[in-house]
Amino acid sequence: MPEAYLCLRHREIENIDQMDVYRQNGGFSAWEKAISQMQPDEVTTEVFDSGLRGRGGAGFPTGLKWRFMDGNNWPHYVVVNADESEPGTFKDREIMESNPLQFLEGVMLTSYAVGANLSYIYLRGEFWELAHYLDERIAELEKEGLLGDKLFGSDYSLRIRTHLGAGAYICGEETALLESLEGKLGQPRVRPPFPPSFGLYGKPTVVNNVETLTNVPLIIEHGSSYYRKWGTEKSAGTKVFSLSGRVKKPGNYELPLGTTFRELIYEYGGGIIDDKEVKAIMPAGASSSMIVANDEALDTPMDYENVPNVGAQLGSASIIVIDETVSMDWLINKTVHFFKHESCGKCTPCREGTFWMSNVTERVHEGQANWEDVILLQDVATNIKGKCLCALGDFATEAVTTAIERFPEDFKAKAKSNGAASEELVETSAAVAD
Amino acid sequence: MNALRESYGQEIDQILAKYPDDEKRSAVMPLLFVAMRKDGYVNKQDLEDIGEIIGRSSTDVASILGFYTLFHDKPEGKYRIQVCNDLPCALRGADEYLDNLCDNLGIRPGETTEDGVVTLEAVMCLAACDKAPMFQVQDYNGVAYHENQTVESTMQLVESWRAEGGKDA
């Protein structure tokens, strides 16, 4: 399928980051139309009908999330999740750097739809220069009369503020992000209540991803059916796929949902480095299950409903490509090390489990372990899964358990290379594990 | 007297204005960044000062300082080279790059060069996976990205800092 630039419009329209160019291309017409001609509910309905789903990873229907906002508790807030920290994800940064006005218009429309007069953009601390850039653009919008008090002669007022994090993956989890924005440790909250009833400062809050909101201006400008020209019934629109790993041309590719892995990796990504064989695909970054990259998997459409058929989730669509040169014991040592570092320490299974998993993956990778250690690793992972307040605990286990299940040969080879483990033991315990 | 407020009064007021009147605790992270501007780390007096500004204890402020990786509580190199060697970057040669950089700088991750110019760190994903090897530089004033790096290009950058006069620049 051909690329379709809805979020990455800067690749088609030069200088769309400039106010006059953006306006010549329909920029802020949706904003003016919403304030002057539409009720907030109508904006929400248009987004609901478009089928737009959250692009941060969960894929939750965006319009439905907005409808959950508690109308009996005010003020309301919109908080943009620009904490982009999943290994393999680098799409939100490109959108904000290169198509900032469309992104900001999306934040504005969302704020209007849910009745927020103050909205925050929470950026990871590493996006330091980007945050200052957005501050300048927000000031420009205020000067142009597009942000501020009594907009277009209405009673509606809106201010947008940026807030920088300071290096913590966990703050991409929405309730940890809210805690962090409140000036507390970035640790997840017990849910329910969910942010639309108890969010920032205990008030109803919509938390949405950068890419999600960047789609909104086009949906309001052209209508929900326009957006459904791309994608599938259940996965409408386009998605920015962040392609990384062992491909010739890594980068962001905005394609209709439902494009196959094969098209992305071979047509857009140019195939595997040195024309090696593709071995596995991680479609949702380091949090991903390992997909065995056989023909069936390569021909699977990348959308919310089909990726589970090959044993993974689409998530944030950060596609990390693994080739035959990579051994899974090395790979999971990397991902486990990441989650151990990023565990916030609140839930015991995640805090302790990632620590012990990392001890074992290190030992396996160094060739100092036998097959029993591999079984132990599975056991620790299983004891983390489903036992934590947020998804980080589960995420830490996905690559580990699926790598061992789907690529046992890599681990057997490691166990065998350790002189202490007899080949017989490896084979027997592998049979038990099967 | 609040030393932090004395040095950065106007900027602190602008930061506080970003948050609702009864929610000034939200300013703790931006204020920690302000405190690091003088010499790259947060000292005990800063903790007291920030606590006073937002109406929290210095212990509370210290907990935030300790939680996030971009905040520092001791003096180190003037420039922190923070190399991403997480999975996607490692698949594109970041581990080899980091090893070579270590050899060239004569330090390991976590260490500082003798002249005090560079602290080298290995960090988690920086959202630049398609432009590996890459790193960010954190200095007293903020963070900047350096992508598609070679050891040679990085050493040139380091030499330019050294030419500026290192610690006294």
User: At A213, which CATH number?
Assistant: 3.40.50.11540
CA angle centred on B33, ends A133 and B151, rounded to 5°: 70
d(CA A319, CA A288): 9
A-B Cβ pairs (cutoff 8 Å, strict): 136
CA B146 to chain centre: 14
Q: What is the mean pLDDT of chain A?
A: 95
Count the domains in chain A: 3
Q: Examine the pLDDT at A384 and tell me if it is beyond 90.
A: yes
Dmax (CA) of chain A = 81
CATH number at residue A406: 1.20.1440.230
Please state whether beta strands B79-84 and B135-139 pair in parallel, antiparallel, or not at all (unpaired).
Answer: antiparallel
Q: Which residue of A129, A244, A331, A361 to mutate against B (max B Cβ within 10 Å)?
A: A244
Q: Which of residues 16-35 of A touch B (CB under 8 A)?
A: none
Q: What per-residue confidence (pLDDT) applies to A416? A: 73
Q: What per-residue confidence (pLDDT) applies to A419? A: 55
Q: What per-residue confidence (pLDDT) applies to A418? A: 65
Average pLDDT over residues A55-81: 96
How close does chain B come to A23, measured CA to CA in Å? 28
Residue A351 shares a structural domain with residue A210: no
Residue A261 shares a structural domain with residue A219: no
What residues of A are in contact with residue B68 (Cβ under 8 Å)?
Answer: 125, 165-168, 186
Average pLDDT over residues A68-92: 97
Structural domains in chain B, sorted by start: 3-67 (1.10.10.1590), 79-168 (3.40.30.10)
Question: Are residues A242 and B130, on separate chains, in Cβ contact within 8 Å?
Answer: yes
Domain of A245, in residue numbers: 238-277+295-319
Q: What per-residue confidence (pLDDT) applies to A147? A: 98
Q: What per-residue confidence (pLDDT) applies to A115? A: 98
Please state whether beta strands B142-146 and A238-245 pair in parallel, antiparallel, or not at all (unpaired).
Answer: unpaired
Q: Examine the pLDDT at A225 and tell me if it is beyond 60.
A: yes
> B141 and chain A: CB distance < 8 Å anywhere?
no
Residue A139 shares a structural domain with residue A196: yes
> A143 and chain B: CB distance < 8 Å anywhere?
no
Average pLDDT over residues B62-87: 97
Query: For residue range B9-26, what is the model confidence (pLDDT) as tens digits?
Result: 999 999 999 999 999 999
Global pTM value:
0.95
How close does chain B come to A163, measured CA to CA in Å? 8
* Proportion of chain B above pLDDT 90, given as a percent: 96
Tally of CB atoms within 10 A around B160: 9
What residues of A are in contact with residue B144 (Cβ under 8 Å)?
Answer: 128-129
Question: Does residue A284 sit within a domain?
Answer: no
Which residue among A87, A184, A186 sits closest to B87, beta carbon to beta carbon? A87
Residue A222 shares a structural domain with residue A345: no
* pLDDT category of residue B169 using cuts at 50, 70 and 90: very low
Q: Which of residues 99-118 of B touch A (CB under 8 A)?
A: none
Question: Are residues B125 and A86, on separate chains, in Cβ contact within 8 Å?
Answer: yes
Residue A267 shares a structural domain with residue A389: no
Q: Examine the pLDDT at A241 and tell me if it is beyond 50.
A: yes
Phi-psi region of B96 (alpha: psi -120 to 50; beta: other; left: phi over 0): alpha
Query: For residue range A136-161, what is the model confidence (pLDDT) as tens digits?
Result: 999 999 999 999 999 999 999 999 99
Which residue among A129, A164, A341 sits closest to B29, beta carbon to beta carbon? A164
Residue A345 shares a structural domain with residue A263: no
Q: Examine the pLDDT at A425 and tell me if it is beyond 70.
A: no
How close does chain A come to B165, measured CA to CA in Å? 25
Average pLDDT over residues A345-372: 94
- Beta strands in A181-305, from DSSP E residues, in sequence order: 205-209, 238-245, 251-256, 278-282, 291-292
> B16 and chain A: CB distance < 8 Å anywhere?
no
Query: For residue range A262-276, what is the model confidence (pLDDT) as tens digits?
Result: 999 999 999 999 999
DSSP assignments along A144-156, one per residue = TTSSBSSGGGSS-
What residues of B are in contact with residue A181 (Cβ under 8 Å)?
Answer: 26
Question: Does residue A70 sit within a domain?
Answer: yes
Residue A381 shares a structural domain with residue A415: yes
Question: Does residue A25 sit within a domain?
Answer: yes
Residue A33 shares a structural domain with residue A157: yes
Residue A157 shares a structural domain with residue A246: no
Which residue among A84, A85, A166 sits closest to B70, beta carbon to beta carbon? A166
Question: Are residues B18 and A334, on separate chains, in Cβ contact within 8 Å?
Answer: no
Question: Does residue A2 sit within a domain?
Answer: no
Question: Are residues B144 and A184, on separate chains, in Cβ contact within 8 Å?
Answer: no
Q: What per-residue confidence (pLDDT) applies to A434? A: 47
> B86 and chain A: CB distance < 8 Å anywhere?
yes
Q: Give 3-state DSSP helix, strand, coil % of chain A, rounded to 5.
A: 50, 15, 35
CATH number at residue A250: 3.10.20.600
How close does chain B come to A303, measured CA to CA in Å? 22
Residue A245 shares a structural domain with residue A365: no
Residue A36 shares a structural domain with residue A103: yes
Residue A200 shares a structural domain with residue A163: yes
Q: What Rg value do the Cα atoms of chain B yield, rounded?
A: 18
Question: Does residue A371 sit within a domain?
Answer: yes
Q: Which residue of B125, B131, B147, B148 to mutate against A (max A Cβ within 10 Å)?
A: B125
Question: Does residue A289 sit within a domain?
Answer: no
Question: Does residue A411 sit within a domain?
Answer: yes
